[in-house]
Amino acid sequence: MSTEQIAAILENKRVIGPTRDILEVRNAITVYDRLHEFKATSLASLLKAHKLLMAGLVESPGKFRTRYVGIVRGDELRHLAPDGEMVKPLITGMLESLKTSKDLALIKSCVFHYELEFIHPFIDGNGRMGRLWQTIILMGYHPVFEFLPVESIIKRRQTSYYKVLGVADRSGKSTVFIEFMLGVILESLNELLSGRIPLLTAIERIERFRADVGTRPFARKDYLSKYKDISPATASRDLREGVAKKILKKSGDKRMTNYRFGSG
C-alpha cells in the first residue's frame, strides 16, 4: 500500500484497497501501538503479539503450527522447517537463552531473529514476528531502539535480507545474517544521529508541546504537526503515557479524542 493509504488508515479514514492489505496495516498499527506490553523473554507475549498481528489473516493466530512447512521458490524447496512437534520446545529454549546468555543484546537480538525465521513456528507471519521481536529485545537494551527505522531499512534492502537468510540457512550458520542485521542497525543509528529522528523521551516531547498549546485542547494530529519525525503510533504512545502520568487529561474516543494539559 502507498504511504498515503497507510496514513489514511492511521487517521481512521476510508481507504480503497485490498481488504487483506488494509487488515495487515491495521493489525501492524495495533501491535506497534502496544510495544511496551510485550516482554522479550515471555512465550505468552510472543503468542499474543502474533495473535494481534495476524488476526483475520490466518486460521489460528497466536498458535504454533503443528505440521511440517517448507519455503518454496518456483519449483525449488528452499527451506524445510523443523517438525511441528519441535516448535514449542525450540522457541522455549530460545526465550530461555535470551534470559541466560551473556552475549551482547545486539547479537542476541540478531540470533533470535534468524532462529525464529529458521524454525518458522507459525503458519504465516514469521518474518514480521522476527523483525518485531528483534525490536522488542533491543528496546529492553536501550529505549532508543523503539524509534529506529529498522523495518524501513530492511524494506529498502529486502532482496539482500532474503538472500542472507538463504545463505545462512544453507551454511547452517547465522554469521552472515548477524553481520547484515548489525549493518541495518548501524544504518538506522546513523539516520538518528543525522538528526532525522529526535532523541527525546515521550515526557520530554510532551512537556515541550505544553509551551505551544498551553491549556487548549488538542488532538493527536496537532501533536504530530509539532513532531513530524515521529510515527503516529509513537505519538499515541506519548499521549497515552502523558495521560497515565496525569500530565494530560483525555476526553472523547477514537477520532474524536482530545487531550488537555492540567493546570498543575
Three-class DSSP labels, 214-262: CCCCECHHHHHHHCCCCCHHHHHHHHHHHHHCCCEEEECCHHHCEEEEC
Task: Tell me what pLDDT residue 73 has.
Answer: 65
Return the higher-pLDDT residue of 231 and 54.
54
Return the higher-pLDDT residue of 159 and 68.
159
Percentage, residues of the chain above pLDDT 90: 48
Task: Tell me what pLDDT residue 139 has.
Answer: 87
Task: Tell me what pLDDT residue 153 has.
Answer: 84
- Asked whether residue 8 carries a pLDDT value surpassing 80, the answer given is no
Return the higher-pLDDT residue of 51 and 24.
51
- Asked whether residue 253 carries a pLDDT value surpassing 60, the answer given is yes
Topology (CATH) of 34-196: Fic-like fold (1.10.3290)
- Asked whether residue 11 carries a pLDDT value surpassing 70, the answer given is no
How confident is residue 189, by pLDDT bands cut at 50, 70 and 90?
A: confident
Taking domain 202-261, whether its CATH number is 3.30.70 is answered by no
Most confident by average pLDDT, 147-156, 227-236, 244-253: 244-253
Per-domain residue ranges of the chain: 34-196, 202-261
Residue (of 237, 255, 251, 264) closest to 31 by Cα position:
237
* Rounded Cα gap, residues 87 and 83, in angstroms: 7
Q: Which helix (H) or strand (E) holds 72?
A: strand 70-73
SS3 168: helix
Q: Which DSSP state fits 133?
A: H
